[in-house]
């Protein structure tokens, strides 16, 4: 009986590892330009705004953070 439990644990940890590796691959792939999640600013987490996203679907920051970022970047 205990052997059965042990095998189940090993199978579970193996699939956990596989899932973790898959997630890491997805994160690696998207690291360069991460699209805003649910229309939220990547900097402050606030809403980017539907109008802004419509005008610029690739926007990853709200207007305020984008302006601050552009100032930091010296543009
Ligand atoms: Zn923001």
| CA 16 / ligand 1 centre spacing (Å) | 34
| CA 9 / ligand 1 centre spacing (Å) | 43
What pLDDT is attached to residue 43? Answer: 92
Rounded distance between C-alpha atoms, residue 39 and residue 50, angstroms = 8
| CA 43 / ligand 1 centre spacing (Å) | 5
Dihedrals phi, psi of 41, to nearest 5 degrees:
-65, 135
| CA 15 / ligand 1 centre spacing (Å) | 37
| CA 32 / ligand 1 centre spacing (Å) | 18
- State the CB neighbour count (10 A cutoff) for residue 40: 15
User: What value does the mean pLDDT of the chain take?
Assistant: 80
Contact between 39 and 48 (Cβ < 8 Å): yes
What pLDDT is attached to residue 67? Answer: 94
Q: Residues 26-47: pLDDT tens digits?
A: 666 554 455 666 789 999 999 9
Q: Residues 4-15: pLDDT tens digits?
A: 666 777 777 878
Q: Indicate the pTM of the whole model.
A: 0.48
């Amino acid at each position: 009986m205990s052997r059965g439990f042990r095998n189940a644990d090993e199978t579970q940890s193996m699939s956990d590892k596989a899932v973790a590796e898959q997630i890491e691959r997805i994160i690696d792939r998207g690291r360069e330009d991460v699209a805003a999640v649910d229309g939220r600013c990547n900097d402050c987490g606030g809403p980017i705004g539907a109008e802004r996203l419509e005008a610029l679907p690739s926007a990853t920051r709200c207007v305020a953070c984008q302006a601050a970022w552009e100032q930091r970047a010296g543009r």
